[in-house]
Structure 1
Amino acid sequence: MNNYFNSYFEFGLRSMYILEIFSDDYLSPEELSKIDYLTLYYKIDGLKFLHPKHNLVITEYGAHQNIIKTGLVYFTSLGYITVKYTSKGILYGRTSKEFSYIESNYSKLLKSRIHYLKSIDVNNKFRTPSEVIDAI
């Protein structure tokens, strides 16, 4: 992997942050994709955007789901993410295996935005893909 940006590694790493903050929950790939997308692009008063908005931001939503799934498989194979099989489908959670995150302004902002989305009960507030896209 030569480029970490927009790669399964980047999406998987952000998923690990999400799973750590949503530690009481197991999340589906669709929920993780939704939270990741909103973490990047949802307007939150007082917090900067993680990625700049652009004309094709809406088209990224579908691509998020496929890349996140690959990232989840990768970090699961390393033992950082666990899989739970349920009647609702495959769900993912964080294991207790330690992972050394890089502390940076980006990671601090990322965590702040994820905490905010958790505080507004993001999975109930935005139930459909169209609600997610309309929020951007």
Structure 2
Amino acid sequence: MAGLQSGAPTPTALTAHNQSRVLEVSFSDGAQFRIPFELMRIYSPSAEVQGHGPGQEVLQTGKREVGLVALEPVGNYAVKPTFSDGHDSGLFSWDYLYFLGSQQDKLWADYAARLQAAGVERDAPMPEKAGHACGSH
């Protein structure tokens, strides 16, 4: 398996649960995570969310109800989800899924702090960005 560090856990099962809106992932080291679609969406590793450098992150809101319409494998190292809001530019590596799964509590806390700092509600609609096309519109 080229490209994977030896011993890095790889998924043995990936199941998207659309009713409960979680991605269930089992890893080769025995770890099992239920990662909410919302968490995946707000922490998407895409430039659209992460920005193009530190401090450029775009705070994602209104994603509580987001669904997963597709989950495509990318090589042997990642999956590319397509979310119901049209976002499809994030590549989730196995390492990143493991990170999201294992750090959920901290990530939710960070998200809550960022919302509070920005003075916005978790369910606020995302502002439309005029003239900022990331190829998704």
Query: TM-score range, shorter-chain basis?
Result: 0.3 to 0.5
Point out the structure with max Rg over C-alpha: 2
Bigger relative contact order (CA 8 A; separation at least 6): 1
- TM-score norm. by structure 2 comes to 0.32
Higher-helix-fraction structure: 1
Higher-strand-fraction structure: 2
